[in-house]
A and B are shown apart, each in its own frame.
Chain A
């Protein structure tokens, strides 16, 4: 099996296993700090943030669910944008980055898809509602899975890169349509609500915790993607070395 980078080796910086190792190490360092940040978020959310009077303790799931949603959306947007860049610039590293972002996105989506219903049940009275957030969660998950399934099923690196880039771009453009569908659906089918969800204007203590959590999750995304990208670089470097 030829390495995709062989074809591009002439026009891009030579790839070394050492460079890949450095990327991976840096990624793990960032990940470690980020995981500590997430742990700190847990402590702050539970111990140092007020309890919402109407919704109770379960409202605090918000401090994990919302940043995970942000992370998944960011991961997905980057897959789409980097895919477009790949089709334009044909740098295979862009393809490797997109794949890394997709895999990390699945992890964040999984957090969304599990914490979402666990949050919905006490707050809305039902495990699932077709509201904007949960619906988008589900679709991002399907899109990620489709993207990764296609990559797994294609063995020629060029073909895999090109095809997944097309899927990535199309997926990104689908997101506004999902939003619009949910919006149209909701305005015509208002859901009965058991408890009113968080008001748009948050008190400072809650906003502070949310911002802190979002920062931690964003850093976690960066750490995870760096490692995953580094692993892909390492795999390519090894293939080059073994073939050459």
Chain B
């Protein structure tokens, strides 16, 4: 296996193991997800707004905020344990380091999404039909995009005093294209619309991922090196 790839996986595994031991990020994200889903349901007037109209937005708000919680905690935990400095002393290529952190963050967020999605189907009485593979695929596409940006911004935010505030402030504009695209595609999938209506959005998601994955990989060096 290519050395950088192996290093990335090592970094990812280390982070995931650390998180599984303490579980704080995962748990807070899951609690948040459940909370959002419950509130969205109670706040809705069932006669005025059908569940299926609200469902895609509710789902993605949940995913987005849970992802931010997870990403923030991931870097804060590392700062508290000083592990990042030790890692930087080793000759790990910075691109590999970024991908390791990215994969770990993706694992956390995917775990939260995997729990939130069934809850969402349950609370909103959504009829998935044949839409599940499409929803999972869309979720993957969109999540990769904003988690990539969140990973690099998390690395920056952690150096500031109000890291929990700085990450959302920086990340918000960057979450909009993937989120809007994801909601639009999810809504159409649930309504069993033809693929042609979603292609534009799917291309947007894919292009966003390509551009920002590349950019963040290259830029990570500027963030972690002196």
Contacts and interface: CB of A to CB of B under 8 A. Distances in A.
Complex A–B touching at CB under 8 A: yes
Interface of A: 87, 139, 142-143, 145-146, 149-150, 153-154, 158-159, 162-163, 165-167, 169-171, 173-174, 177-178, 180-181, 184-185, 187-188
For chain B, what secondary structure do more than half of its interface residues adopt (helix, strand, loop), or is it mixed?
helix
A211 B170 CA distance: 35
Interface in B191-226: 197, 200-201, 204, 207-208, 211-212, 215-216, 219, 222-223, 226
A181 B172 contact: no
The 6 closest A-B pairs by CB, nearest first: A153-B160, A177-B177, A146-B170, A142-B173, A166-B219, A163-B156
Contacts of B216: 170
B222 A170 contact: no
A185 B226 CA distance: 42
A185 B197 CA distance: 12
16 contacts: A149-B166, A149-B170, A150-B160, A150-B170, A153-B161, A153-B162, A165-B222, A166-B156, A166-B223, A167-B170, A170-B174, A174-B174, A177-B204, A184-B204, A185-B180, A185-B184
Q: Interface size bucket, B side?
A: 20 to 34
Given A170-B149, A170-B212, A181 B177 contact: yes
Contacts of A178: 173, 176-177
For chain A, what secondary structure do more than half of its interface residues adopt (helix, strand, loop), or is it mixed?
helix
A173 B215 contact: yes
A139 B159 contact: no
Contact of A166 (B152, B162, B207): B152
Nearest to B156: A163
B159 A87 contact: no
Interface in B123-162: 149, 152-153, 156, 159-162
A188 B226 CA distance: 47
A162 B225 CA distance: 10
Contacts of B149: 170
Given A167-B153, A177-B204, 9 more contacts: A87-B222, A139-B173, A142-B172, A146-B169, A150-B166, A166-B152, A173-B211, A173-B212, A181-B204
Contacts of B211: 173, 177
B132 to A, nearest CB: 24
A177 B208 contact: yes
B186 to A, nearest CB: 14
B180 A154 contact: no
Nearest to B171: A146
B215 to A, nearest CB: 6
